[in-house]
Amino acid sequence: MQEVKDQWIWFVDEELIPALLKLEQGDPQWKKRAASSPAFVKAVTWHLEGRTEQALAELARGAENPASAAECLSAMGHIQFELNLFEEAAASYGRAATADPDDKTAHFNRGLCLEKLRRYKEAALCFEKAAALDPGRAEPRLALGVCLLHMKKPKQAQETFEQCLNRDSSNPTALFGKAVALQLLWQFDQAADIYRRLLQRNPNAEEVLVNLIAIGVARRDTGNLKEYCERLQRIRPKSRPVLEGMATVALANGDWENAALYSGDLASLEPEMMEAWFNLGVAQHRLNHLEAAAKAFARAAELKPDHKSVHSCLGAVLEQKGDWEAARKAYEKAVQAAPDQAGPLWSLAIGHEQRGNWIDAEKVYQRLVKVSPDSAEAWFRLGNMRAERGNWKASTEALEHSTRIRGDWADAWVNLGVACWHEGDREGASQAFDMALVVEPENKEVLRGQAHLSIECGEFERAEEMAARLSQLGESTAELLYHIGLLRQKSGEHAGATEYYRQALNQKPRFSEALINLGHALRAMGDEAEANACWRKAVEYEPELAGKYFVKTPR
C-alpha cells in the first residue's frame, strides 16, 4: 500500500545568472569629438551642467538634420539610458542605427536597452549585428550569450561563450556564462569545475557561490553545500541562497530543528515562496508540532493550490490532529490537483475505511483501481468494502482481481473464499481456501474455514484431514470434531458419529452437547447403559442445558 509521506521538496532557483551582464553601454565618444552641429554643442553644455531635459530637447532638434541625426540620436540614447528610460533609449538607438546601419555602438547599446526591458529575442538580434560589424570585440558575443541563457537556449549560449573563450581563455564573464549554460544543461560536474576556478581568482564572488549552492541543491549533494553557504553567509547574511542551502542541508540530514529554523527564516524573507512554507511544514510535522505544521502547509496550499503534495501533507497533519472533516477536504483537494496519482486516493480511502464509512471508501477505491489497476491491495480493499455491505458478488469480482495480480497473498485468497461461500459458490470457496493453504500451509484460520466448508458440503474425509492438521498445530478441534460427528449421526452413521464425539470429549471433557448427542448415538446402537451414563454426566456438568437435549433425535 502506498503511504502518504510529507517528503520535503528541493528549492528551485531560476535566477542562475545574477549580475552576469555587467557591460556598460558603448561610449559614443560624444564628449570628445569635434562639434558637428550647433545643437550638439548646446546639448554638451546643458549635459555638463546637469540640465538633462534641455540637453535632450536640443538633441531632438539636432536629430531633425540628416547630417547630424545619427550622433544626436546616439547621444539622446546615452542620456536616456543614464536616466533608466530604457524604452526611450532603445528607440533612440534604434533610430541612430537606422540613420547609420554600420554604427556598431548603436546596435550594441540598443541591445543593452532591450536586455534591460527583458526583450531578449530582440536584444539578441542587436548583439548579433554588433558582433558582425566588429568581430574582434568580445562584449557583443558575451551579451548575446546572456540573452540566449534568458531565452532558455543553454546549448547555443555555451557555444557563444566558447567563441569568446577561443579568443581569451581567461575571460571571467565568458567562463561564468559557460558554467551557467552547463548548469542549465545539468552538466553539473563541468559547471562546478569552472565555478571553483573562478573562486580561486575571487574567493568572495557572490554569483559563483550562489550557483555552486544551486548545484548542490539540484544534485541533492550536501557535501560542500554547507561550506559554500557559510562562505556566502559572511558576505550576504541570511540571504535567500544561504537560507535555501542551509535548509537543504538540514532537511537532507534529518536535522528537523535547524530545518524548521532556516525554512522559517526563508518563509519570512520570501513570504510568497511555496517551497519554504512546504519544507517548514515538513520540519514542524517531524517535530510533532502539529499546529505549526498545519499552518505552514495551509500557507503553501494557498500559494500553490495545484501542487501535487501539499494538500496530502496538510490532510495527514489534520487527520493526526483528529480533525477528519478538514483532513477529508484537504485529501479531496489533493485528488483534484493530481487525479492520476494514487497517493491522495489512498489517504482518502483509508480514512473513510478506518471510520466505517464503507460506501464512501468503496467509491474512492473504485477510482483507485482505475488509477492503479495493477495494485493488488487496492482491489483487495475494494473487495472488503463490498463485503462489508453484503455485496458478495461484486466483492468476489474485486478479490479475484487481487489474486490474479498477487497469487501469493493468503489473505486475499481467504477473503475470496469467504465471499464465494456467501455467494453460494462452495466449489469456488473451497478452491480459494486451497490456494490460501498452498501459500500458508499452517494458516489455522484457513484450515478451520476449509473444514467447516467441507462439513457443509458433506465431505467428511476432507473435514477430517483439516481437523488432523489443526491438531498437529496444537489447536483444539473439539467443536469441529463435534460437528463432523453431528453430520455423520444425522446421516445415520451412528458408529462413526460416536468416534468423533469421543475425540471431541477427549479434548473437552465437559462438552455437554457432545455428551448428549453421544448418548443419542449410543442409544440408537442399542447401548442404553452407556447412553444413560453420558446423559448423567451432561446433567452433572450443566443441568439447565442438558434437559433441553433429552429428545429423540440429535441436535
Whether 60 is covered by a domain: the verdict is: yes
Quote the domain boundaries for residue 9: 1-180
Whether 35 is covered by a domain: the verdict is: yes
Sign of the Cα pseudo-torsion (349, 353, 355, 359, in order): positive
pLDDT of residue 78: 87
Whether 480 is covered by a domain: the verdict is: no
d(CA 214, CA 14): 9
Cβ-Cβ contacts under 8 Å for 256 (sequence gap 6 or more)? 250, 283, 286, 287
For residue 414, CA distances in Å to 221, 389, 425 come to 47, 18, 14
pLDDT of residue 466: 85
Cβ-Cβ contacts under 8 Å for 54 (sequence gap 6 or more)? 46
Exposed / middle / buried, residue 9 (Cβ in 10 Å: 0-12, 13-18, 19+) = middle
pLDDT of residue 30: 35
Whether 111 is covered by a domain: the verdict is: yes
Whether 136 is covered by a domain: the verdict is: yes
Degrees, nearest 5: CA angle 546-547-548: 90
In which residue are the cell numbers 557559510 written?
230
Instruction: Print pLDDT tens along the chain (555 aa).
Output: 334 344 544 433 334 343 344 445 554 443 344 445 777 777 777 777 788 888 888 788 877 888 878 888 888 888 889 888 999 999 999 999 998 899 899 999 999 999 999 999 999 999 999 999 999 888 999 999 999 999 999 999 999 999 999 999 999 999 999 999 999 999 999 999 999 999 999 888 888 888 888 888 887 777 788 888 888 888 888 888 889 888 888 888 899 999 999 999 999 999 999 999 999 999 999 999 999 999 999 999 999 999 889 999 999 999 999 999 999 999 999 999 999 999 999 999 999 999 999 999 999 999 999 999 999 999 999 999 999 999 999 999 999 999 999 999 999 999 999 999 999 999 999 999 999 999 999 988 888 888 888 888 878 788 888 888 887 887 778 888 888 888 888 888 899 889 889 989 988 998 888 998 999 999 999 999 999 999 888 888 887 755 565 554 545
Whether 6 is covered by a domain: the verdict is: yes
- The CATH number for 162's domain is 1.25.40.10
CB 117 within 8 A of CB 87: yes
How many domains does the chain divide into?
A: 1
Whether 461 is covered by a domain: the verdict is: no
Exposed / middle / buried, residue 272 (Cβ in 10 Å: 0-12, 13-18, 19+) = exposed
d(CA 287, CA 307): 23
Rama region for 273: left / alpha / beta (φ>0; ψ in -120 to 50; rest) = beta
DSSP 536: H
Whether 444 is covered by a domain: the verdict is: no
